[in-house]
Structure 1
Amino acid sequence: MESPNAPDTPANLAPQLTPRGRLLATKQDDAPPLAPEVSQALGPAFALGSGHGLLLLGTAHIGRILPPAWAWWRDVAARYVTALCATPDGGEIAVDLPAAEDFEALIADAPPMTGAEYLTPELLTALWHELDAALRQELAAAQVPLQAFLKSRHPAWNLVGRVHFNLAENRKDAEAPFAFLATYTARLSAHGKAQHQPLSQALAEFSGGKSRAQLLSLLLPVQRAAQHCDWLREMVEVGDIYHPLRWTALDACRFLTDLPQLEAAGISVRTPGVWKAGRPPRPVVKASVGTRPPSLLGQDALLDFSMQVCLDGEDLSDAEVEALLQSGDGLQFIRGRWVEVDQKAIGRLLERFKAIEAVAENGLPFAEAMRLLAGASLAESGEPLDADWSELAAGPWLADTLAGLRKPEGLAQVDPGPELQATLRPYQQAGVRWLYLLTRLGLGACLADDMGLGKTIQVLSLLLVLKRENAGPHQPSLLVAPASLLANWAAEAERFAPGLRLLVAHPSAMPPADFKALDATRLADADLVITSYGSLLRQPVLANHDWRLAVIDEAQAIKNPGAKQTRQVKKLQAQSRIALTGTPVENRLSDLWSIFDFTHPGLLGSDKVFGKFTKRLAKAEHFGPLRALVQPYILRRLKTDKRVISDLPDKTELKAWCHLSPTQAALYQRAVQDLADALEDAEGIGRKGVVLSFLMRFKQICNHPSQWLGDGAWKAGDSGKFARLRELVEVIAAKQEKVLVFTQFRETTEPLAAFLGSIFGREGLVLHGGTPVAKRRELVRRFQEDEQTPFFVLSLKAGGAGLNLTAASHVIHFDRWWNPAVENQATDRAFRIGQQRNVLVHKFICRGTVEDRIDQLIESKQQLVKDVLEGGAELLLTEMSDRELLDLVKLDIHAAQEN
């Protein structure tokens, strides 16, 4: 990958947050372009460290139009710099850390970006400290005062004065119920508190010739503000700025109107302490949605809607509202307090809410209610609600429901019963409760847990819960997955939920004639029907059946809305739809739309409407509405979350079933026949040689036809293992995790590395028997320390022992050694002392081939077989009879090929 600090730094840099909490500026081909001078500055700055990059972003690029992700990080950095500006000249730098809830509010509004799932208040706290350290380091190197340093970055940070405008209530004066006083910060007290003096005191304190420059600097913010505020300019010209003043309500209202200009000029504004956020209370048009449960659940639910005008939580009468609208704009004295009124704003909101109330006389459609609550209007003309004058809240029933979806660990327990042959971990129990709540509501769900956290067992548990509860007519559920995963699902169901009646509707699991003859009666006999995306296209009865649940695994398979496969999946009829994925869908808007178009049709509108909606969000640099809209229906837990990883086993082994391509199947069939012919004439030691050479040939064909043919082509589409590798690695790459790939064949290492590099978009490392010993230590160091090195391809003999590669959290055995001890030794390059992450081990096995049957031998509990295999499976195989050997290597074409 191109280094971010290279002289020709690319213009399409994007922020990338790594699992370790580093913020990088990396090249991404689809990233919105930056101005060349911006990318040329950001690349080297972030190469120095996250703090240096953020400091440059927050000080030097104020006012620039940046892509949403960069603009969001600039806002984070600018908050630090804003707090820094309160440091008195010559004073010690001490920047207060924002509260956790402030960071949480920032995170809630974060735009899509690589690594967004790692955003936490703790991570932002760490980056805040890195910012602070970078500032101190750069300030020391610059050897200039803080204000001069900030001014060198951008003039807006040159706040040389600390002037305060103070507004107070004076209820004893009916004609002038407010008082105004301008003050300045003279110095800090011994306790570090700012000491305020009337601005008039500055005239006396800075009366000397040399001090006159200080006075001019102190008054500079006032002069700036006076250019935009006529009333302030008049006060400065006549000298009233230096004296306490009696103000009318009209004067105070004018002051409040110009607060943005005053603060932008560098003036600090102080208002009565009883006013929240520095402003008087405002009447709010308040609406409530979902006070009580709807009569009908699901996407067609209609929610109740009501509205009223409130002041500090108290409802105003119709007469009081009418009086408000008739009394004019500005400050009004109502119910013993000063209230700010904007007739037009209140009137527009009343009109809008009354229109909604009229349409929702029989109830507000669920999707519209959710969009309204999230502030996510999909209509091009739909303006967001004015948050200063309105409040839209979920009623008691809907609020409780959404709270349960957002924090499922607090939901009531649901019990799969003894039919579940496993013990769920706490986070898995919470996941089942979350899925159960959504299915009970007739809504969809996107379970996006990290790979290895047990999405399968959570879905099986849900099916057992629904089966126990079912009081009406039996209704089966459907699961659609890539063909390579069907065997995994069937095995997991038989292992953990043997009580579920299972039907694998796929030619690899039943005779083709039976598959073609599938009908509704056969489907109704099952609790769970499992099929592939391809079979869904070829068997109409699957798409036309009414299902209890429709579950899709590896939901990124439907990310292309125009694909025939995607359209067929979205035709499925079910009470609830569930999408399973291990990738962070919230970071790719197109994937997010397509998945939600399946789970919650209509919630995000059409793809064109959604595209225009997200463009408006990007233009406003405000993605909070979209996140608020989808967040209740996405459940994502990370392996890096200590609350999860502390409850996980250290190592999870998974079998990755692979199919043969047509080319592989043809070569394999021919090899079986060639072996049968060779065995007729083979005897003694020669027979052992024949058997061993053919076993090697079968392994090579299962890996890739080019490995056996030696043609050097290595086309990805010619190998089922390469297809399975792509599926796995795309998820690993999206999570920015690292992977070790082991193969026993040196000639396979380079083609694997080239293929992996095309997926990650970056080069990885290769180690085999030909790698010089002196170079191996450097390769290990680079893999361990460089976060941008994503994979390491190793030959099993050269890399299976002695190396410490704990940076990887995934281990893939591309081909099997057929010796568990050797494989475990290789796996332990990642799973060893110092490993902080859960390690997932993926063992590739081609269905219906000798690899499949050898795996069954390894799994068998016969001590004799185990003893022999520990010494090498080949020794056992050479002693088999011709008939046994041919039965072992024969090809089950239906199981081996993807359909």
Structure 2
Amino acid sequence: MDVTETGLLGLTPGGRVVCGDPESPLCAVFAESEAAGLAHLAGRKAAHGAADATLLFWRSIAEEFLRAICHLPEGSDDAPSVPPPGATQLTEWILNAPPMRGAEYLSAAVLEAVWSRLQAWTQDRVVELGGVAGFLEEHAPLWSRVGKVTVHLAENKGDDTRPFAFMASYASGLAASGRLRQLPLGKALQEYAGAGNKAVLLKLLQPLHRAGQTCPFMAELIESGDIYHPIAWTPQEAHTFLQSIPAYEDAGLLVRLPNWWQKRGRRPTVTATIGDAKAGALGLDALLDFRLDVVIDGETLSAQEVQTLLQGDDGLVFFRGQWIEVDRERLQQALDHWKAVEAEGGLSFIEGMRLLAGAPGDLKDKEELEEQREWAFAQPGAWLADTLRQLSDPTASGPPSGLRATLRPYQARGMEWLWFCARTGLGACLADDMGLGKTVQVLAALLRKQAELPESPPALLVVPASLIGNWKQEAARFAPTLRLFIAHRSETAEADLAAPPPETLSGADLVITTYGMLTRLDWPARVRWSWVILDEAQAIKNHGTRQSRAVRKLDAEARMALTGTPVENHLGDLWSLFDFINPGLLGTASQFREFAKTLRKDHNAHFGPLRRLIAPYILRRLKTDRSIIADLPDKTEMKVYCGLTAVQARLYRQTAGRMEKELEHSDGMQRRGLVLAYLMRFKQICNHPDQLTRSGDYANSDSAKFQRLAGLCEEIASRGEKALVFTQFREMTEPLERSLAGVFGRNGLVLHGGTPVKERSRMVERFQREEGPPFFVLSLKAGGTGLNLTAASHVIHFDRWWNPAIENQATDRAFRIGQRRNVLVHKFITSGTLEEKIDALMDEKQNTADAILADGAEKALTEMDDRELLEFIRLDLNQAETSL
């Protein structure tokens, strides 16, 4: 894991905050417990990566908790209880959360659970340390001196010239009713008079003096002595006091204010309503109308009222029977800005969507962003609001007639969403979790296009070479009426590949090619495609690569990206993806970098504008979503097709040639032993050539299976999920662990026949912990029984035992009693080799009588004659090749 990209802290699928860098001192505290880590983070404000937005985010939440603990009334030492923040605050935290590993799991329920665990841990520690004061001294020394002084501001309605009243009070104890007794601060000078109480008085007044160090107005109140008795204020004095509320709270003061100020809605706001009338055609180039209003609390002001405000006083102004806050300069700036936009004749769709998201129209004007947050507001008009509603919840029309599958409700919605985006010309990123069926949703949308737009140009699908077989099989299974043309040398002759006849393209509904082929063929860039669809779209995350440049040259009416990786958690990847699906929405690379900097200002991070900007174009559902998992089978099996590298293919052909010669001189038991020995060699070659040759360092580049495993586990790692990887070869366990450690950024566990029994139980206990190792490599025989590994949501059969009963037994290490997750089972198959043919044989036999394969597929192969056997192991080089 690259913590420089995702941040130091992240979330697990179970919703726990974890530290992602084992080298960081902070991780040692989080290893003790999540709550201890959060308290340490907020209580000491240590420089654990001061520029890390994830630290700022979780620190702010923990600080909110500590602040509430400090402000509890006396007598709370037994079990200090702080209710979680309200729904509005939780939503605000989620919206402004920075990119981080596991951000997709962030929800109000998760934040409430984090808060609850922090509170339970705090209660235990308060008991152990003899009270709240002891707890703060031990875990949050910077907060331990926070007193119980409250500053109050209220309306003084009997005085027109001084309509506000201020008072500072302190908690002197509990009244007979049990309520906290508040007295004017001046009484404290009397109550704590005398040398014996001097320390108590100093502790009480410390928050005031800390506030005075940063707030000149508070310093004046202390210097003049006005802080010790009630005083009436002018509107200007009250407004000056209100400007420093955050600093007072940071110093440890409690603040009590009028409700109208707490809502912060009592100020004139420039409101731009965008897209009231229907645009000629929706799309990135659409021009949107807009109108300007100035509103207070949702009520529109007349032109005369606006002029009155602009010619009046700044600060607190009594207007329409209520107090409002006015900053004439900023109000005028907001009006001037929008009038300049109005003079240009309208807004582009891109600019409008940026402004609706709370981002600057040009993504770089920092002052405009600040103005947008505080004194200006953009909202969609009637037509645009309806369009955005359809984008978030498209109208259901039912599955296309040619689809041979029953779509689950979320899949039907995905198909409708893709169709709506394509018809409106807006780019779409379908980012459903692995195993939720992105392929069938795309095929269903293509069938709908075939039925409703039969004359439209073909769609182009770009995939990694290893996925051609998957798409071909899925299309044949779910959408057999789709006409495919596969632009790859495994399926098409070189002449037709270099220059396909016009009738070939016009007769196709879907053209499939690979990222590698796209860099070698020039004709795809000359075709006007209906849709361009990228599978495993993270392949273009590096904008400057040849394949990324080739993809961006493609001309299409609509662009789609499919990925299981949470793209919005990596800013660079996010920009690259959106530069393909919706070019210009996130600006140029340099514009986006500058915009991202404005989202993280001073000691705060506000990523809300970015999240709102991209949200309409990303559809992502997670297996952890209760509304989704209730609709899923408990166990989903997926076949993962791999090819062969050139090294593997050459070794496979040589081995097949030697087998053919040796069969000519063997029979009976000798022949059976020979066949079994060669079958084992072919398995080893499909795994990695070094397994057969006993040489080399198991480089990923020499094995297509290792490469496919790395790609699969990158997605698993990005989700913070865990995997079991089974192999039948003990000698493969260590190379697999080394390879995967590089993918996950952490070491995993290895179990084989030589692992001591006592060590096994310790390994299982480590793996089952949420913060434990992310993967477990097991030899099939050693790990097939007696283990309970329900922490894993993925089971990977790296090589096949060719016996369904044994494979299922191994799968059940994760899929068994106690499992609360949907388990995905990935069965690796090498295309064009005997592995693919044996898989087909297993499916065929298992559908008739499982007993036939009770001894495994190997026995069935030994009974074949030489001709059948040689045909069975023959390498189909076209199907197996993975170089492009």
Equivalents in 2 of 1:280, 1:763: separation in Å? 52
Tell me whether 1:114 sits opposite 2:101 in the alignment: yes
Query: Which of 259, 265, 281 in structure 2 is aligned with 1:296?
Result: 281
Tell me if structure 2 keeps the 8 A contact 1:507–1:895. Answer: no
Equivalents in 1 of 2:34, 2:847: separation in Å? 55
Tell me if structure 1 keeps the 8 A contact 2:133–2:144. Answer: no
Query: Which of 527, 534, 542 in structure 2 is aligned with 1:560?
Result: 542
Partner letter of residue 110 of structure 1? Answer: A
Q: Structure 1 unaligned runs (5+)? A: 5-9, 30-38
Q: C-alpha deviations, 1:576-614, integer Å up to 9, x for none? A: 111111111111111111111111111112223222322
Change (3 A) 1:293 1:28: farther
Q: SS state of the match for residue 871, structure 1? A: coil
Q: Paired residue for 1:73?
A: 58
Tell me if structure 1 keeps the 8 A contact 2:363–2:592. Answer: no
Q: SS state of the match for residue 629, structure 1? A: helix
When normalised by structure 2's length, the TM-score is 0.92
Partner letter of residue 294 of structure 2? Answer: V
Cα deviation, residue 13, structure 1: 8.5
Q: SS state of the match for residue 676, structure 1? A: helix
Tell me whether 1:18 sits opposite 2:33 in the alignment: no
Tell me if structure 2 keeps the 8 A contact 1:448–1:584. Answer: yes
Equivalents in 2 of 1:260, 1:805: separation in Å? 48
Change (3 A) 1:266 1:849: closer
Equivalents in 1 of 2:46, 2:289: separation in Å? 45
Equivalents in 1 of 2:265, 2:750: separation in Å? 66
Tell me if structure 1 keeps the 8 A contact 2:7–2:54. Answer: no
Q: Paired residue for 2:295?
A: 310
Cα deviation, residue 98, structure 1: 0.9
Tell me whether 1:435 sits opposite 2:413 in the alignment: no
Q: Paired residue for 1:7?
A: none
Q: How does 1:349-360 map to 2 (within 5 A)?
A: 349-359=334-344
Query: Which of 583, 587, 599 in structure 2 is aligned with 1:617?
Result: 599
Equivalents in 2 of 1:865, 1:686: separation in Å? 29
Change (3 A) 1:184 1:513: same
Equivalents in 2 of 1:437, 1:559: separation in Å? 25
Tell me whether 1:642 sits opposite 2:631 in the alignment: no
Partner letter of residue 873 of structure 1? Answer: A
Q: SS state of the match for residue 417, structure 2? A: helix
Q: SS state of the match for residue 809, structure 2? A: helix
Q: How does 1:688-703 map to 2 (within 5 A)?
A: 688-703=672-687
Tell me if structure 2 keeps the 8 A contact 1:280–1:340. Answer: no
Cα deviation, residue 676, structure 1: 2.3
Equivalents in 2 of 1:633, 1:388: separation in Å? 27
Tell me if structure 2 keeps the 8 A contact 1:13–1:28. Answer: no
Tell me whether 1:551 sits opposite 2:558 in the alignment: no
Q: Paired residue for 1:36?
A: none
Q: SS state of the match for residue 323, structure 2? A: strand
Tell me whether 1:332 sits opposite 2:317 in the alignment: yes
Count of residue correspondences = 874
Equivalents in 1 of 2:251, 2:239: separation in Å? 19
Partner letter of residue 494 of structure 2? Answer: P
Q: SS state of the match for residue 187, structure 1? A: strand
Q: Paired residue for 1:857?
A: 841
Change (3 A) 1:750 1:337: closer
Tell me whether 1:714 sits opposite 2:698 in the alignment: yes
Cα deviation, residue 480, structure 1: 0.9
Q: Cα RMSD (Å) of the superposition?
A: 2.9
Q: Structure 2 unaligned runs (5+)? A: none
Query: Which of 68, 77, 90 in structure 2 is aligned with 1:83?
Result: 68
Cα deviation, residue 77, structure 1: 0.0
Q: C-alpha deviations, 1:57-94, integer Å up to 9, x for none? A: 11111899441111111001000011112123444423
Q: How does 1:689-768 map to 2 (within 5 A)?
A: 689-768=673-752
Cα deviation, residue 228, structure 1: 6.3
Query: Which of 112, 120, 124 in structure 1 is aligned with 2:111?
Result: 124
Equivalents in 1 of 2:245, 2:16: separation in Å? 38
Tell me if structure 2 keeps the 8 A contact 1:162–1:267. Answer: yes
Q: C-alpha deviations, 1:237-270, integer Å up to 9, x for none? A: 6665555544433443343345455445444443
Segment of structure 1 superposing worse, 475-484 or 825-834:
825-834
Change (3 A) 1:867 1:183: closer
Tell me whether 1:879 sits opposite 2:863 in the alignment: yes
Q: Paired residue for 1:525?
A: 507
Change (3 A) 1:264 1:62: farther
Q: Paired residue for 1:33?
A: none
Q: Paired residue for 1:402?
A: 388
Q: Paired residue for 1:372?
A: 355
Change (3 A) 1:152 1:715: closer
Change (3 A) 1:143 1:196: closer
Partner letter of residue 828 of structure 2? Answer: F
Equivalents in 2 of 1:270, 1:213: separation in Å? 26
Equivalents in 1 of 2:387, 2:179: separation in Å? 46
Equivalents in 2 of 1:104, 1:422: separation in Å? 37
Partner letter of residue 389 of structure 1? Answer: W
Equivalents in 2 of 1:337, 1:623: separation in Å? 33
Cα deviation, residue 137, structure 1: 3.4
Q: C-alpha deviations, 1:456-479, integer Å up to 9, x for none? A: 1111122222333327x3222111
Partner letter of residue 794 of structure 1? Answer: L
Q: Paired residue for 2:819?
A: 835
Change (3 A) 1:83 1:397: farther
Q: Paired residue for 1:167?
A: 154
Higher relative contact order (CA 8 A, sep 6+): 2
Partner letter of residue 315 of structure 1? Answer: T
Equivalents in 2 of 1:626, 1:280: separation in Å? 23
Q: SS state of the match for residue 449, structure 2? A: helix
Equivalents in 2 of 1:280, 1:528: separation in Å? 53
Cα deviation, residue 124, structure 1: 1.5
Partner letter of residue 532 of structure 1? Answer: T
Query: Which of 410, 415, 435 in structure 2 is aligned with 1:452?
Result: 435
Q: Could you tell me the percent identity over the aligned residues? A: 50
Q: C-alpha deviations, 1:402-433, integer Å up to 9, x for none? A: 34545x4xx42132233221111122222223
Tell me whether 1:248 sits opposite 2:234 in the alignment: yes
Partner letter of residue 492 of structure 1? Answer: E
Query: Which of 482, 486, 503 in structure 1 is aligned with 2:464?
Result: 482
Query: Which of 490, 495, 503 in structure 2 is aligned with 1:513?
Result: 495
Segment of structure 1 superposing worse, 476-485 or 522-531:
522-531
Partner letter of residue 101 of structure 1? Answer: T
Segment of structure 1 superposing worse, 628-637 or 277-286:
277-286
Query: Which of 492, 495, 500 in structure 1 is aligned with 2:477?
Result: 495
Change (3 A) 1:280 1:391: closer
Query: Which of 82, 86, 101 in structure 2 is aligned with 1:95?
Result: 82
Q: C-alpha deviations, 1:720-777, integer Å up to 9, x for none? A: 1111111111111222222222222222222222222222222222222333444333
Query: Which of 551, 554, 560 in structure 2 is aligned with 1:569?
Result: 551
Tell me if structure 2 keeps the 8 A contact 1:415–1:465. Answer: no
Change (3 A) 1:741 1:299: same
Cα deviation, residue 369, structure 1: 1.6
When normalised by structure 1's length, the TM-score is 0.91
Equivalents in 2 of 1:280, 1:748: separation in Å? 64
Segment of structure 1 superposing worse, 561-570 or 313-322:
313-322
Cα deviation, residue 871, structure 1: 2.7
Q: SS state of the match for residue 660, structure 1? A: coil
Equivalents in 2 of 1:713, 1:610: separation in Å? 41
Tell me whether 1:346 sits opposite 2:331 in the alignment: yes
Equivalents in 2 of 1:189, 1:549: separation in Å? 73
